[in-house]
Amino acid sequence: MPLQMLSAGLLSLAEQSLNRVLNQDPVTLDRLGELGGKVVAIEASAPAFKLYLLPHSEGIDLLGHYGGEPDVRLSGTALSLARLPIAGNEVLFGKGVGLQGDATLAHRLQAILADTRIDWEAWLGDLLGDAAGHEVARVLRALGGYSRDTARSLLLDTREYLQEEAQLLPTRVEIDIFLDEVDELREAADRLEARINRL
């Protein structure tokens, strides 16, 4: 029971702090108001917890329990879910965060949080203390950069393997040579057609 009370207390503190920051951005509040009545479930692993977000024109309510069925359910590690407002589509979806339900709602909420003028590092600082908030924000930014670099590297390595090792894909030079040969063939066919027409 004390753990549940502590969780409720921390949730209340996080909600008040978040809404205090959101109130500094009226455009974001207007956009959140368009999502009024919707429920987003967050199901995190490592550490495991459930959280429900209820956006409205004055901010976002954070609930530990919700009796109905949410409109959309986001699942993943706590770290991947925490990166959503910062990294956005880098972790959406199938790239660290799973989605069930209204995908449009999930994308709209993520876009609203990503486009806001909120200083997420300052919010984390208010919530966790300046040193811890700065460190958490730094780690999230670093992971966002790492995932971008990793994805780019994986794409290049895969392309190189398919072109050079497996020889399943042509290289850029091979494509250019092929296109030149097609042009030459087309010109030869046009000349042949002209000769036939003359005969």
Predicted confidence (pLDDT) per residue in 61-76, tens digit: 999 899 999 999 998 8
Reported confidence tier of residue 82, pLDDT bands at 50, 70, 90: confident
Lowest mean pLDDT among 67-81, 93-107, 153-167: 153-167
What does the alpha-carbon distance between residue 156 and residue 151 come to, in Å, rounded to a whole number? 9
The long-range contacts involving 167-174, CB below 8 angstroms and separated by at least 24 positions, are none
Sheet holding 40-45, edge to edge: 59-63, 49-56, 40-45, 72-77, 97-101
93 in any annotated domain: yes
Q: Please check whether residue 21 lies inside any domain of the structure.
A: yes
Residue 76 within any structural domain of the chain: yes
**Same domain for 85 and 7?**
yes
Q: pLDDT-based confidence at 116, cuts 50/70/90? A: confident
The answer to whether position 157 is within a domain reads no
For residue 44, being part of any structural domain is answered with yes
pLDDT given for residue 168 in this prediction: 59
Q: Is 142 contained in some domain? A: yes
Q: Looking at residue 143, what is its pLDDT? A: 45
CATH of the domain at 121: 3.30.1050.10
pLDDT band at 173 (very low <50, low <70, confident <90, very high): confident
The pTM (predicted TM-score) of the whole model is 0.58
What contacts 64, CB < 8 A, 6 or more positions away?
Answer: 4, 7, 8, 11, 50, 51, 52
Residue 144, pLDDT score: 47
Of 36-40, 54-58, 73-77, 141-145, the one with minimum mean pLDDT is 141-145
- Say if residue 178 is in the same domain as residue 130: no
Q: Give the pLDDT confidence score for residue 145 in this predicted structure.
A: 46
Q: Which whole number is the average pLDDT over 179-184? A: 86
Domain count, the chain: 2
Q: Is 118 a member of any domain?
A: yes
- pLDDT score recorded for residue 97: 82
Q: Residue 178: its pLDDT value, please? A: 80
Structural domain containing residue 32: 2-148
Contact criterion met (CB below 8 Å) for 70 and 101: yes
Same domain, 198 and 118: no
Residue % of the chain over a pLDDT of 90: 19
What does the pLDDT read at residue 169? Answer: 62
| Percent of the chain residues past pLDDT 70, beyond the cut | 63
Whether 192 is in a domain gets the answer yes
Among the residue ranges 47-51, 95-99, 118-122, the one predicted with the least confidence is 118-122
CB of 52 closer than 8 Å to CB of 41: yes
